[in-house]
């Protein structure tokens, strides 16, 4: 299931959901994101614990494919999250029920997971969310390894990258979609570009993305170009006077990259979601505040 990125860094890029990973140290294991599929979460925990006790579980974002598996890691180290992850952890919104979304994958991708998945009330009673919650950045020292949790908002407000200098590696979460379709969702593209610049400044050889194969820092330029192409394409559509419906129908990058594992059927949804949310952001009224005019004294 897991592939060696370095002698101490393990990840898997072959599952539906994110790329869950862990790092072994001289004083235990640090897990970074958990599998969305229940049986894979159980399997990954066993693989990690075979190499030492789990000291921390870090979630890089609040999207369900990065956090649903936390439930099967109860009792395995402290859960570490940015405040933005904690505040949005498995929160039901008008657009998405994360619990229902997670369960959709079980019949097709993890049928054995049905037998170990709790009902909604049981799950939400203790989904194993953060016990160490921070704002800004946070550094953890575990044995002979250092874990710099860098706040890199853009894809989500609470997004973090996990930089491990001893391994010359960084785990970016969904700040990077390597060789697969990028989900913009309700992201802030301008912040996302700044996050890429911050990651690019790190002294690393290996970039473990949220989705797709392990890559290098050079791919950050490709991700940046993809974000700017999306924003420009929608901005041009608006400038041409296209309506939201026309923009959603006509702006697409479906031919650029495939959808990540297990979700090929969602390509049209991703394209329309990306175009629609960008259209809404770029046409939203901007409030401008002018300084109050001084009143002359008489």
How confident is residue 297, by pLDDT bands cut at 50, 70 and 90?
very low
My answer on whether 67 and 12 are in the same domain is yes
**pLDDT value at residue 233:** 98
pLDDT higher than 50, residue 296: no
Specify whether the CB–CB gap between 10 and 3 falls below 8 A.
Answer: yes
Among 179, 201, 223, the domain-final residue is 223
Among 208, 223, 238, the domain-final residue is 223
User: Could you tell me if residue 293 is inside a domain?
Assistant: no
H-state helical runs in the chain: 38-49, 64-67, 83-88, 98-104, 106-109, 120-125, 189-200, 219-239, 244-250, 267-283
**pLDDT value at residue 1:** 74
Choose between 132 and 297: higher pLDDT: 132
Among 178, 200, 223, the domain-final residue is 223
User: Could you tell me if residue 288 is inside a domain?
Assistant: no
pLDDT higher than 50, residue 295: no
My answer on whether 234 and 213 are in the same domain is no
Tens-digit pLDDT profile for residues 144-169 = 999 999 999 999 999 999 999 999 99
Placement of tokens 């979700």 in the chain: 263
pLDDT higher than 70, residue 195: yes
At 74, is the secondary structure helix, strand, or coil? Answer: coil
Tens-digit pLDDT profile for residues 107-120 = 999 999 999 999 99
My answer on whether 193 and 145 are in the same domain is yes
Placement of tokens 């299931």 in the chain: 1
User: Could you tell me if residue 294 is inside a domain?
Assistant: no
My answer on whether 141 and 236 are in the same domain is no
Please report, rounded to a whole number, the percentage of residues in the chain having pLDDT higher than 70.
96
Q: What residues contact 147, with CB distance under 8 A and at least 6 apart? A: 23, 30, 56, 58, 139, 140, 141, 162, 163, 164
Please report, rounded to a whole number, the percentage of residues in the chain having pLDDT higher than 90.
93
**pLDDT value at residue 293:** 47
Structurally, the chain folds into a number of domains equal to 2
My answer on whether 149 and 271 are in the same domain is no
H/E stretch holding 147:
strand 145-151
Tens-digit pLDDT profile for residues 177-192 = 999 999 998 899 999 9
H/E stretch holding 10:
strand 9-11
My answer on whether 210 and 254 are in the same domain is no
My answer on whether 163 and 278 are in the same domain is no
My answer on whether 256 and 216 are in the same domain is no
Measured CA to CA in angstroms, residue 158 lies from 136, 174, 208 at distances of 9, 11, 18
User: Could you tell me if residue 156 is inside a domain?
Assistant: yes
User: Could you tell me if residue 290 is inside a domain?
Assistant: no
Tens-digit pLDDT profile for residues 215-240 = 999 999 999 999 999 999 999 999 99
My answer on whether 132 and 261 are in the same domain is no
pLDDT higher than 60, residue 278: yes
Q: What is the mean pLDDT of residues 122-151?
A: 98
Q: What is the mean pLDDT of residues 234-258?
A: 98
Q: What is the DSSP letter of 287?
A: -
My answer on whether 28 and 114 are in the same domain is yes
**pLDDT value at residue 185:** 87
**pLDDT value at residue 286:** 75
My answer on whether 42 and 154 are in the same domain is yes
User: Could you tell me if residue 295 is inside a domain?
Assistant: no
pLDDT higher than 80, residue 132: yes
- As beta bridge partners, residue 58 has 32, 80
Tens-digit pLDDT profile for residues 42-89 = 999 999 999 999 999 999 999 999 999 999 999 999 999 999 999 999
Domain of 28?
3-223
> Rounded to two decimals, what is the model's pTM?
0.94
User: Could you tell me if residue 255 is inside a domain?
Assistant: yes
User: Could you tell me if residue 252 is inside a domain?
Assistant: yes
Specify whether the CB–CB gap between 142 and 25 falls below 8 A.
Answer: yes
**pLDDT value at residue 298:** 37
Placement of tokens 């090929």 in the chain: 264
**For residue 33, what is the domain's CATH number?**
3.60.15.10
My answer on whether 194 and 138 are in the same domain is yes
27-36, 233-242, 284-293: least confidently modelled range: 284-293
């Amino acid at each position: 299931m897991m592939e060696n990125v370095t002698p101490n860094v393990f990840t898997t890029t072959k599952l539906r959901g994110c790329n869950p990973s862990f790092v072994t140290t001289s004083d235990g294991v640090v897990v970074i994101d958990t599998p969305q599929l229940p049986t894979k979460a159980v399997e990954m925990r066993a693989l990690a614990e075979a190499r030492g006790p789990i000291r921390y579980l870090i979630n890089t974002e609040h999207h369900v494919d990065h956090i649903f598996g936390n439930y099967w890691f109860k009792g395995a180290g402290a859960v570490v999250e940015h405040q933005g992850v904690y505040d949005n952890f498995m929160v039901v919104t008008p657009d998405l029920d994360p619990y229902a979304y997670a369960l959709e994958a079980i019949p097709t991708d993890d049928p054995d997971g049905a037998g170990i998945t709790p009902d909604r009330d049981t799950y939400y009673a203790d989904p194993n969310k953060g016990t160490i919650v921070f704002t800004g950045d946070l550094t953890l020292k575990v044995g002979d390894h250092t874990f710099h949790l860098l706040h890199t908002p853009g894809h989500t407000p609470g997004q973090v990258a996990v930089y491990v200098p001893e391994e010359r590696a960084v785990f970016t979460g969904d700040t990077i979609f390597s060789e697969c379709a990028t989900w913009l969702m309700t992201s802030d593209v301008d912040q996302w570009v700044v996050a890429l610049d911050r990651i690019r400044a790190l002294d690393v050889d290996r970039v473990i993305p949220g989705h797709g194969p392990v890559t290098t820092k050079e791919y950050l330029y490709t991700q940046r170009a993809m974000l700017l192409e999306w924003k420009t394409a929608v901005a041009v559509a608006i400038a041409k006077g296209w309506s939201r419906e026309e923009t959603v129908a006509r702006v697409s990058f479906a031919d650029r990259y495939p959808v990540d594992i297990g979700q090929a059927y969602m390509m049209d949804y991703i394209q329309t979601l990306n175009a629609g949310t960008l259209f809404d952001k770029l046409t939203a009224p901007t409030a401008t505040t002018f300084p109050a005019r001084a009143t002359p004294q008489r």
